[in-house]
Amino acid sequence: MNLEKSLELFIKGQKHLVGAVNSPVRAYKSVGGVPLFIKKAKGSKIIDVDRNRYIDLVLSYGPMILGHRDKRVEKSILKALKNGYTFGATSKGEIKIAKMVCDAFPGMDKVRFVNSGTEAVLSALRLARAYTNKDKIIKFSGCYHGHSDALLVAAGSGLVTLSIPGSKGVPTDAIKNTLIAEYNNIESVKNQINNHEDIAAVIIEPIAGNMGVVLPNQEFISELRKITKEKGILLILDEVMTGYRSKYGGAQELLGIEADITCLGKVIGGGFPVGAYGARNEIMETVAPLGDMYQAGTLSGNPIAMACGIATLKELKKQDPYDDFNKVAEKIETFLLEAAKENNIDLQVNRFGSMMSPFFSSEDIVDFKSAQTSDTEKFKTFFWNMIDNGVFLPPSQFEAWFLSTVLSKKDLKNIEKAIKVSMKAVADKHNS
């Protein structure tokens, strides 16, 4: 496979961009080799600067759920563009998408738009603290909630991949109010609650996606809702990844729980930088200008981004692709498991709607610790063989694969073929 131009850009890019990237996972540190530099994308395909074509299962880590450059979405963006780029005042689109989002999340009366998932979550934390007048928060090991100081502890994919335990530059003071619990382990939550007063909130990915996909067991998540309610602790559901991925709206409804504060991002911007946090009136009235919790943004609610988000959500609502997502994900799971079995490779597949992760492990993957039993060397071999066979995957064992609505039958056949070849390559290299 020719990656000559990617290599050229990788070298050139390092002069003025840190590691030639603007987000660390794009540097392919955990899989080695030359990171792909992308020229363009259309539909289910993405094309690199050397003109290699791939079926895209990265989808910009989630947002491009309709595939690239959906006609109707593009039309809305172009229309909005002609009215100007940003105004520093509210425009109609913001009101429209706010209603769409609140209608899809039963626990949300009001929403505030920001520019990224990171911003949504850090604002949600401030809101929880302002509303409860308490300081401490509980987060789960392996869950990622963006790169704000307080949450950069035990934070999943990007950090596991780089093997750094937190981040340098985060003052101890900034994380002294962050308590850690284990995913799917309600006792670990109870321990923290029993040992600390003044807990403002528990934050969780209702389906974890940043240690690879890990599902909560129903008892754990129901119990989590129950005890937080009993103790007057807010439950923040970080649905930046899961929102609109398995149903129109949040994972919380499927799990039969309701968040006190919900965080959104990725899909709601349809590829433009949008994040959001929302809650019932009583809580949102704490946010300025209604209340004393300050949070602002020059480009928040940007009209072009809102137009893209509105068109994306409209299309999702109309197409209701969620049954199909499950069927496609099940098929890919079968391809993976059959190819693994044929080649004597231990493999677990976790999936939720249109997100999924195969783990090269013999253990059930239920938390951060079990996720780390995966053989990342096998993943590396698998990854590069998939790339060679025309399937673009996230370059880490601990990132989810994403499905789009535009995957064709032919794409699926090609994914199946690529999986067969790649699993065999894993066996040839790693089975002794």
Ligand X SMILES: *Cc1c(COP(=O)(O)O)cnc(C)c1O
Residue appearing with tokens 């939550």? 189
* Options 25-33, 102-110, 233-241, 344-352: segment touching ligand X (CB under 6 A): 233-241
**Binding segment (CB under 6 A) for ligand X, from list 71-79, 167-175, 202-210, 217-225:** 202-210
Kindly state the smallest distance separating residue 366's Cβ from ligand X, in Å: 18
Question: 364 phi and psi, to 5 degrees?
Answer: -65, 135
The token pair at 162 is: 């780089």
**Residue 94, SS3 per DSSP:** helix
Among 30, 76, 118, 397, binds ligand X (CB under 6 A): 118
Q: According to the binding rule CB under 6 A, does residue 355 interact with ligand X?
A: no
| Interaction of residue 161 with ligand X, rule CB under 6 A | no
Nearer to ligand X, 126 or 145 (CB): 145
Binds ligand X by CB under 6 A, chosen from 265, 270, 303, 395: 265
- Position 145 contacts ligand X (CB under 6 A): yes
Based on CB atoms, which residue is closest to ligand X, 144 or 379? Answer: 144
The only residue of 117, 158, 270, 271 in contact with ligand X, by rule CB under 6 A? 117
Question: Which residue among 139, 247, 266, 378 is the active-site one?
Answer: 266
Beta carbon nearer to ligand X, 76 or 118: 118
Q: Is residue 238 among the annotated active site residues?
A: yes
**160 Cβ contact partners less than 8 Å away, ≥ 6 residues apart:** 142, 211, 372, 396, 398
405 forms part of the interface with ligand X (CB under 6 A): no
Structure tokens at 309: 């988000």
Report the greatest alpha carbon distance in the chain.
Answer: 65
Q: What is the Cα gyration radius of the chain? A: 21
Residue number, 65 or 121, with CB nearest to ligand X:
121
Active site residue 318: no
Binding residue (CB under 6 A) for ligand X from 50, 182, 238, 260: 238
Beta strand pairing call for 401-402 and 355-359: antiparallel
Q: In Å, what is the CA distance from 411 to each residue of 31, 53, 206, 235, 427?
A: 24, 12, 30, 40, 24
SS3 104: helix
Minimal distance in Å, beta carbon 304 to ligand X? 17
Closer of 3 and 204 to ligand X (Cβ): 204
Please identify which residue in 28, 105, 113, 144 interacts with ligand X, judged by CB under 6 A: 144
Where does this chain touch ligand X (CB under 6 A) — which range of 236-244, 330-338, 369-377, 413-421? 236-244
Number of chain residues interacting with ligand X (CB under 6 A): 15
For 137-156, give one letter per residue: b (16+ CB within 10 A) or e: bbbbbbbbbbbbbbbbbbbb
DSSP state of 113: E
Q: Which of 43, 67, 146, 158 binds ligand X (CB under 6 A)?
A: 146
To the query of whether residue 341 is one of the catalytic residues in this protein, the response is no
Question: Is the CB of residue 274 less than 8 Å from the CB of residue 107?
Answer: no
Catalytic residue among 50, 56, 70, 238: 238
Is 198 within 8 Å of 231 (Cβ atoms)?
no
* Residue 274 in contact with ligand X, rule: CB under 6 A: no
**Edge-first strand listing for the sheet containing 275-279:** 110-114, 275-279, 261-264, 234-238, 199-204, 136-140, 178-181
Q: How many CA atoms lie within 13 A of 210 on its CB side?
A: 26
Nearest of 97, 141, 85, 147 to residue 122 by alpha carbon: 147
Which span (205-213, 229-237, 297-305, 403-411) binds ligand X, by CB under 6 A? 205-213
Which range, of 3-11, 113-121, 278-286, 349-357, touches ligand X by CB under 6 A? 113-121
Catalytic entry in 61, 131, 144, 248:
144
Residues 407 and 410: their CA atoms lie apart, in Å, by: 8
Closer Cβ to ligand X, 116 or 191, answer by number = 116
321 touches ligand X (CB under 6 A): no
User: Minimum Å distance from CB 24 to ligand X?
Assistant: 11
Which amino acid does the sequence have at 415?
A: I
> Which two tokens mark 24?
């660390």
The token pair at 383 is 């990854």
Question: Cβ(301)–Cβ(88) under 8 Å?
Answer: no
For ligand X, the closer CB: 117 or 394:
117
277 touches ligand X (CB under 6 A): no
Q: How far is the CB of 277 from ligand X (least distance, A)?
A: 11
Closest residue by beta carbon to ligand X? 117
Q: Is residue 316 a contact point for ligand X (CB under 6 A)?
A: no
Specify the 3-state DSSP secondary structure of 421: helix
Residue positions annotated with a catalytic role: 144, 238, 266
Q: Which residues bind ligand X (CB under 6 A)?
A: 116-118, 121, 144-146, 205, 209-210, 238, 240-241, 265, 275
